[in-house]
Amino acid sequence: MNAIISASELADALRSERPPVLLDVRWQLSTAAASGQPFDGRAAYASGHIPGAVFVDLDRELASAPGPRGRHPLPDLDVFGAAMRRAGVSAGTPVVAYDGGIGWAAARAWWLLRWTGHPDVRVLDGGLPAWDGPLETEASAPAEGDFVPKPTEGAVLDADGAAALARSGVLLDARAGERYRGEVEPIDPVGGHIPGALSAPTSDNVDADGRFRPAAELRARFGELGATRDVPVGVYCGSGVSAAHEVLALEVAGIPAALYVGSWSEWTSDQERPVAVGPDPQ
C-alpha cells in the first residue's frame, strides 16, 4: 500500500463505504510566526479543516516533554493511544494524516501509527494546500476508536544504535545542509553531525509544490547515498520530526528505515558524544 495519498484520491476515499479517519496535525518548527505570535495549530484547525478531521497536538500527543531524550521524545503510549482513540482510530480503519503542507508533522503521526502496529496509514501528499474540497470550522467528534498501540521491533534507534549504524550501514541526516556542516545551528547548542552520517535534507524529497517526488526519483536519490533495500538504513534530524518525513520518503521509494527519535537534540545533550563538522561525514 502506498504511504501517501493524493487530494483527489482522498476525496474519493471520503465518499466510499469505508472512509478514513482524518488527523489534522498542523504544527510549525518555529515557536513564533513572522508576526512574533506563536503558531497555534489548534487555532488553524478551528479556522478551517477538512470535514471530519480531528486536531492532534504534536507537542503534547505525538511527543513527550522535552528533556535529555530530545525536544520531541517518544510519547507516552497511553497518551498517544488515547489521542488516537479520541480521533476515531480503530485497528481496522484506514487513517490519513495531513498538516499545513510541509509534511513533517503528518509524517510524525504516520510513523508513530505504523510503529505501534496500525497497518493502514497514509499522508496527504502536499498537505492541506493540496486539498481543493470544502472546509469546515466546527470541531469533529467521531465515535471513540479502539486502537491500542503496540510498538514493533527494529523501527527505533537510540544514540548508540545510530552511532553504530553510521559505521555499519547508512545513517542519513535530514536537516538542512548548513546545519549538518555546522555552519549554523539555530536551535541546539552544538552544530555539526553524527560522525559517519550523510547529509540528506528533507527538502530534496519533494518538488516545488511540496509533493513527494516520484518513487523512482527518490530511489535514485537515496541510492546515490548508498541507501538501498540491501543495507540497514536509519534517519535522524533535530528532534525526530523532519526525519519521519525522510522515513516516509524512503518508504515511498521502497526502502525500509529506522528512526533515531532523539536525533541531534538528544545527541548533543551529552557532551561526551563526538561531533563532526564540515561536508565530510567523518
Active site residues: 237
Alpha-carbon span 76 to 72, nearest angstrom: 11
Cβ proximity of 205 and 63 under 8 Å:
no
Identify the sign of the CA torsion 23, 29, 35, 38. Answer: positive
DSSP at 156: E
Write down the residue that cell numbers 534507534 correspond to.
Answer: 157
| DSSP-based helix, strand, coil % in the chain, nearest 5 | 30, 15, 55
CB 238 within 8 A of CB 188: yes
DSSP string, 223-255: HHTT--TTS-EEEE-SSSSHHHHHHHHHHHTT-
Q: Return the amino acid letter for 91.
A: A
Distance CA 268, CA 275 (A): 8
CA atoms of 237 and 239, how far apart (whole Å): 6
Buried b (16+ CB within 10 A) or exposed e, 35-65: eeeebebeebbeeebbeebbbbbbbebbbbe
